[in-house]
Amino acid sequence: MESVQKLFRKELKVEVQTKLIGKTLYVSFEIENLVSKNFDLPKEVIEKLEDAMISISRISLSTDAEIDFTVIQAEDPTWGVQTNIIRRMKDLKGLMYWGISKQDFDERLVLETEKIVKSDSYQWHDITLPEYMARIVASRISLGSRANPFLSVLLGIEKMRAQIQPESKELIFTVEGASDISLSSTSSVSMELLRDTIKEQMSQVEKKYPVLDQRIQTSPLRDPDWVTKVIVNNSEGKPLFEIPREEWLTIQTNKKQESKRRKK
């Protein structure tokens, strides 16, 4: 990993901590003024993060080591927050060889902002594809709510975190900003909108990664290799609602049927 440190020292003028865990390459470094007073990413920070993504991609493509995922952790010790940027190398290669579009590639990015946690080697671990898919869903909904304050109010959330349970095949989303479900019509509408949003995102992400077992190229995700249900909790861990897998599979089925009708 010394070559990673040298490249980042040369290209970005930063000292980094890096480690390859399984097939996941982590690079962590500090960056001042990561967020502005309005909690936005300043232009110069965005440029540095883009440079970091280019550098880690170059390393991953040129090394003999097998790398499935790259993780950039940019930390701001002043604010006590960090931004995580996660990419899947097969998606990058898919873009390079015209297997997927630029828009599709961008939709597969995981961008997270969280408090800095200095324990267990920054909680670094080998990321699996199911975990990555779950974090894409949480990332897209979190980004949507932050970018659109109106949507944030409607959904009743400020941020969403994902935790997958491989043994039980359950995906737990924890939403920050969601209060306990009340009997008011406004709360009911918000919960229904959040439910529909999660189902739509689950359907879209599952469509992007139709095969979890790469050894069986013709086997679609029609069994519980991914998850059997989604559990949504509020920030206190209180369950808000559950979504069985059949509900987002229905979205895919309906879209296919609609597509067939249009072709006729």
Handedness of CA 219, 106, 8, 45 (dihedral sign): negative
CB 232 within 8 A of CB 244: no
What's the rounded mean pLDDT across residues 104-124? 80
The domains of the chain, with CATH numbers, are 1-127 (3.10.310), 128-264 (no CATH)
Global pTM value: 0.85
- When comparing pLDDT for 223 and 245, which is higher? 245
Distance separating alpha carbons of residues 260 and 264, to the nearest angstrom: 6
C-alpha dist (Å) from residue 74 to 51, 61, 77: 12, 21, 10
Distance separating alpha carbons of residues 147 and 111, to the nearest angstrom: 13
What's the rounded mean pLDDT across residues 74-98? 92
pLDDT band at 37 (very low <50, low <70, confident <90, very high): low
Summarised one tens digit per residue, pLDDT across range 158-200 is 889 999 998 899 999 999 875 544 444 456 778 888 999 999 9
Cβ-count burial of 59 within 10 angstroms (0-12 exposed, 13-18 middle, 19+ buried)? buried
- When comparing pLDDT for 189 and 112, which is higher? 112
> Can you say how many angstroms the Cα of residue 258 is from the centroid of all Cα atoms in its chain?
29
Distance separating alpha carbons of residues 200 and 252, to the nearest angstrom: 9
pLDDT score of 26 = 96
pLDDT at 138 over 50: yes
CB 145 within 8 A of CB 151: yes
CB 145 within 8 A of CB 152: yes
CB 240 within 8 A of CB 230: no
pLDDT at 124 over 70: yes
b/e for 106-130, b at 16 or more Cβ within 10 A? eebbbbbbeeeeeeeebebeebbbb
